[in-house]
């Protein structure tokens, strides 16, 4: 804006001082020089230069008061054009606090054996599901018995425990190893266990939906979000059940981290030219998707460091409803900034015309510069208030 505005008003002021004395009979150079100087004072863009960044700073401050950390004014501005909001499931829409609610042994294995092998296999993992299994075992684990350990991305864990090969993971892990297993449909996550390539049974782990998840989707629809989507590595049945309960439009389950990125790439083709996609996640596996989305939002309380680092916005309270709040803050900030632009340019345009015709004086010019700047600054300060 300054690239064009500044030279235009400077040359207009110069023309105002030099041209009229030559073409208007009786015009004096001193009179038109005074008008040109007043014209320059009015045209000074202080109101815009000060109030617009201040409006965004106020918006960022207002968001932080609500526990939302926005990493820049460009991300706050981008939130205004959000069309699609994509969610991870575990830890984002659900609490991520898992508890073992069922132990279903098979092939002559006992419940104690099943939970013991599962706990040993999951002992080195920091995933909430792994932690819940270890907690359910509730006995001391001899790490010397684990002689090999491998995490298989998007599938589960392979470990050698006391000379036995143990597989613990989802249906993909069982299918790829050609292990016949029982297809179980529960209102929770199912971890299948195989020992020496023999299906030993499965463990059911339940996760609660966050209290405000349903309200989040409703609020997003109310503010004009076109589509809500869930991307998760969890079982299709569990993911579909959660999505239906919350009210999400579309769900894609049993995805690996790179497949989530591919889904975001496909969604980029669905949005409009100016439309933006938000991805909301919390885990280390979400970092690539958070970075690829137009706006990445991480859960700051339970989120991994990698996810928080990759995100553009961080919700410190882990409440998904804050996403709608962030968008409302962005819309309010844009409205205030637009008011300042229209007000500043409108007043300046009127005063520039009046001064050019000799109706306005230097006093009006000072008001057009300093007065308008102060009023715009005061208006910008409204952005920091927690009223959306």
Region at 108 (left for phi over 0; alpha for psi -120 to 50; beta for the rest): left
Q: Say how many C-beta atoms besides its own lie within 10 A of residue 182's C-beta.
A: 12
CB contact set of 82 (below 8 Å; sequence gap of 6+): 225, 275, 276, 277, 278, 295, 327
Residue with tokens 């994509």: 86
Which H or E element spans position 230?
strand 227-231
Q: Say how many C-beta atoms besides its own lie within 10 A of residue 15's C-beta.
A: 13
CA 336 to chain centre: 22
| Residue in 81, 88, 282, 369 annotated catalytic | 88
230 within 8 A of 241, measured Cβ to Cβ: no
CB contact set of 352 (below 8 Å; sequence gap of 6+): 39, 42, 43, 368
Both structure tokens of 59: 């918006």
d(CA 112, CA 181): 19
Find the Cα–Cα–Cα–Cα dihedral 161, 164, 168, 170, rounded to 10°: 160
315 within 8 A of 67, measured Cβ to Cβ: yes
Q: Say how many C-beta atoms besides its own lie within 10 A of residue 233's C-beta.
A: 22
Q: Say how many C-beta atoms besides its own lie within 10 A of residue 171's C-beta.
A: 18
Both structure tokens of 86: 């994509």
Active site residue 81: no
> What is the phi/psi pair of residue 295, to 5°?
-135, 120
DSSP state of 369: I
156 within 8 A of 233, measured Cβ to Cβ: no
> What is the phi/psi pair of residue 221, to 5°?
-65, -40
d(CA 106, CA 195): 11
- Known catalytic residues are 88
């Amino acid at each position: 804006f300054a690239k064009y505005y500044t030279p235009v008003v400077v040359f207009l002021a110069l023309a105002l001082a030099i041209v009229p004395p030559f073409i208007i009979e009786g015009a004096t150079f001193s009179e038109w020089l005074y008008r040109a100087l007043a014209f320059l004072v009015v045209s000074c863009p202080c109101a815009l230069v000060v109030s617009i960044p201040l409006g965004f700073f106020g918006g960022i401050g207002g968001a932080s008061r609500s526990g939302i950390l926005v990493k820049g004014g460009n991300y706050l501005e981008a939130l205004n054009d959000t069309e699609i909001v994509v969610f991870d499931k575990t830890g984002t829409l659900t609490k991520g606090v898992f508890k073992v609610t069922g132990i279903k042994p098979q092939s002559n294995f006992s419940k104690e054996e099943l939970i013991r092998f599962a706990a040993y296999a999951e002992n080195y993992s920091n995933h909430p599901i792994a932690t819940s299994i270890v907690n359910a075992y509730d006995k001391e684990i001899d790490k010397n018995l684990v002689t090999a350990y491998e995490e298989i991305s998007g599938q589960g864990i392979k470990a050698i425990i006391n000379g036995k090969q143990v597989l613990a993971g989802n249906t993909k892990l069982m299918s790829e190893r050609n292990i016949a297993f029982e297809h179980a449909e529960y209102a929770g996550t199912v971890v299948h266990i195989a020992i020496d390539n023999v299906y030993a049974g499965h463990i059911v782990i339940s996760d609660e939906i966050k209290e405000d998840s349903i309200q989040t989707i409703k609020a997003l629809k109310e503010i004009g979000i076109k589509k809500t989507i869930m991307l998760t590595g969890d079982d299709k049945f569990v993911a579909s059940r959660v999505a239906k309960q919350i009210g999400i439009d579309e769900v894609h389950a049993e995805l690996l981290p790179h497949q989530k990125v591919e889904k975001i790439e496909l969604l980029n083709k669905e949005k409009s030219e100016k439309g933006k996609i938000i991805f909301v996640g919390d885990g280390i596996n979400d970092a690539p998707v958070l970075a690829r989305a137009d706006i990445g939002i991480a859960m700051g309380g339970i989120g991994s460091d990698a996810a928080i680092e990759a995100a553009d916005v961080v919700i410190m309270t882990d409440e998904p409803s804050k996403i709608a709040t962030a968008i409302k803050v962005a819309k309010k900030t844009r409205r205030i900034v637009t008011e300042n632009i229209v007000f500043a340019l409108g007043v300046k345009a009127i005063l520039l015309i009046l001064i050019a015709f000799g109706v306005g004086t230097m006093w009006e010019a000072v008001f057009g510069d300093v007065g308008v700047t102060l009023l715009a600054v005061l208006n910008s300060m409204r952005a920091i208030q927690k009223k959306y």
